[in-house]
Structure 1
């Protein structure tokens, strides 16, 4: 098994159905109250790649991509059109979109991350597959620049600074990112007649940990 650093055609993922899935274990107590817990620290995303197909050419491109990944064997990148930026969908990523760490004067390598906040809830999602040439970074409120001040590992989502940020200095970043996934089936079943009649094949895709 390997992970291929190639993105599923973005024009085919546009229009697909999917999103995050959580696992919550609920125990009903005798007094009517509940105890709720989750074994997952992070959500796992699922999508249906078949919903984005619009023509026989699209279907041909999908089959070629599926065969090149050997079905479920190899992972790949997926653009989730509902959540692929460090900022709002209508904005361009900026160097101060996300606070990913606080400098300590020693650490120079940081994981990119995106934080989701709503009311008292707060969730920080590690970002492991940033899109090349979209990462911007800042230290202490000032933008710094690639090659001169830092390098990005686009396969792991790590940003390495030439000089460790000073103690207390906020380390920030903005970026676009993909979701690491694999096909969740080893079979594509579709007929040309049903496809032309508007019946879309179901081709499940599931997030993987890398």
Structure 2
């Protein structure tokens, strides 16, 4: 592009370079540095989008020995007189896990490393079966109003409700006023849709097995044969993903 007033020609040059690469040309070069600087021409390679979640289960044998640590976020203000004002900043807890204690053999290490690479570390989420909290029984989903037919699966902890977004297919059972029904479908995100909206006042409940959406907490995974043979557990932290 010899003249600055012809700067719109850069678009055609960029398109030609992209077309060449699409035909298998290993690399293309724009050989006009003074003009590139003058016109501010910039070309970015566009990478494929990363799928945020792989709907696969972390190896059961490794996850069974996971250490579990629920986390909440609370602001506490203490007055001069010693009284406190507390505010829960999150609607529900987020759980941290360490699946390192489940690594007991070289085969486990190989499975863990392969799983880590396939997920690109923390880039992709996956399912984890919580060894202590994996089932909901007769959980109240809501009360019919004659119009709404869809209800979110939830797990109750006293007065706190936890959204269940990764139920295990084939395990969900729905009941209307305690009577089980098969007239429903399970949608994405753990949403149950009944074939017909329940009448006003009808209690909707469900029982199910569920997994927790998690990701690796760190970009690096370090394991060694020496550590394993010495009887020391590796640390493999995971963190729950909000969906």
TM > 0.5: yes
2:112 partner SS: helix
Deviation at 1:199, TM superposition (A): 1.6
Structure 1 residues 5-48: Cα deviation after superposition (integer angstroms, max 9, x where no partner): 11101111111111311111111101110111121111000001
**Which stretches of structure 1, 4 residues or longer, exceed 6 Å deviation after superposition?**
none
Partner of 1:184: 217
Distance (Å, rounded) in 2 between the aligned partners of 1:160 and 1:102: 13
- 1:76 aligns to what? 126
1:91 is matched with none
Residue 107 of structure 1 pairs with residue 154 of structure 2: no
Higher relative contact order (CA 8 A, sep 6+): 1
Aligned residues: 193
Shift of 1:205: 0.1
Kept in 1, the 8 Å contact 2:109–2:223? The answer is no
Equivalent residue, structure 2, for 1:48? 98
2:206 matched residue in structure 1: 173
Q: CA deviation at 1:86?
A: 0.6
Q: Could you say what secondary structure the match of 1:61 adopts?
A: helix
TM-score using structure 1 length:
0.89
Pick the structure with more helix per residue: 2
Output the TM-score relative to the length of structure 2: 0.77
What SS does the corresponding residue of 1:66 show, helix, strand or coil?
A: helix
Shift of 1:98: 1.1
Which segments of 5 or more consecutive residues in structure 2 lack a partner in the other structure?
Answer: 1-49
1:125 corresponds to 2:162: yes
Aligned ranges 1:18-57 → 2 under 5 Å: 18-57=68-107
Q: Does 2:51 correspond to 1:10? A: no
The aligned counterpart of 1:144 is 181
Report SS of the residue matched to 1:86: strand
Give me the whole-angstrom Cα distance separating, in 1, the residues matched to 2:156 and 2:223.
Answer: 40
Contact 2:57 2:128 in 1 (8 A): yes
